[in-house]
Amino acid sequence: MTEPVDIPAHPERHRHYRYYDLVMVGFVTVLLCSNLIGPAKLCEFRIPGLGWLVKFGAGNLFFPIGYIFGDILTEVYGYARARKVIWAGFGSLLFATVMSQVIIHVPAAASEGYNQKLQPALELVFGGTGRIVAASLLAYWCGDFANSYVMAKMKLWSEGRHLWMRTIGSTLVGQGVDSVLFYPLAFAGIWTSGSLVWAVLFNWTMKVTVEVVFTPLTYAVVGFLKRAEQEDFYDTDTDFTPFSLQD
């Protein structure tokens, strides 16, 4: 387990990083795939020994990886630069949602036979209701900012020690906010109260478990980036408002 890298402070906040853009692209890619591809399939399996039948959206297998990217961004580059990436992800997800709705509603060419099969498939995969889309966008926005904020604040009071505690702690909060917002907003009145509570608890637990399992990889990536970028940012004078794109 690594401890803070001894890196001299940089007087300038506006500087070029070799890997920041790549981490941003990775974050946005995971976000888009999880929200556009994953929700189309409902998975289920029985827990051995207990016999519980568990159902979850396939996107939950990969969505937590976005939080790992968020942890890495905040830990290495700081809250303000992570904030830019969160907004980039929000804008990309919003554009992809609008684009999918436009494509679904543009009249299909009747002369092309395959369109008769393609159109219903597009509507099924990308035709989520406005309520679910809005719930997904709001839950993502609130959850990711909560995750980054907690990660940055925990780094300050822990003086950069115990990275595992910060990544898991921030994920507990961020994924908790995400799950508590998404499922009731998207499915209240459609699912029973018991189903809503189960969905929140199970998906929250599942997402945090992914964070725990990937902790060794997070340590490796964070250590590499801190050395390569010569950066280990502490948000000592950061304005934590989410409504800004300033470094």
- What's the chain look like in SS3? CCCCCCCCCCCCCCCCCCCHHHHHHHHHHHHHHHHHCHHHCEEEEECCCCCCEEEEEHHHHCHHHHHHHHHHHHHHHCHHHHHHHHHHHHHHHHHHHHHHHHHHHCCCCCCCCCHHHHHHHHHHHHCCCHHHHHHHHHHHHHHHHHHHHHHHHHHHHCCCCCHHHHHHHHHHHHHHHHHHHHHHHHHECCECHHHHHHHHHHHHHHHHHHHHHCHHHHHHHHHHHHHHHCCCCCCCCCCCCCCCCCC
Q: Which residue has the higher pLDDT, 243 or 36?
A: 243
Determine if the pTM surpasses 0.75: yes
Greatest mean pLDDT among 45-49, 80-84, 196-200, 207-211 lies in 80-84
| Per-residue model confidence as pLDDT tens digits over 116-167 | 788 888 887 787 778 888 999 999 999 999 999 999 999 999 999 999 999 9
pLDDT band at 11 (very low <50, low <70, confident <90, very high): very low
Q: Does residue 6 register a pLDDT over 80?
A: no
Rounded average pLDDT over 12-26: 87
Q: How many CB atoms lie within 10 A of CB 236?
A: 9
pLDDT band at 34 (very low <50, low <70, confident <90, very high): confident
Q: Which domains does the chain have, with CATH numbers?
A: 20-229 (1.10.1760)
Calculate what percentage of the chain has a pLDDT beyond 70.
Answer: 91
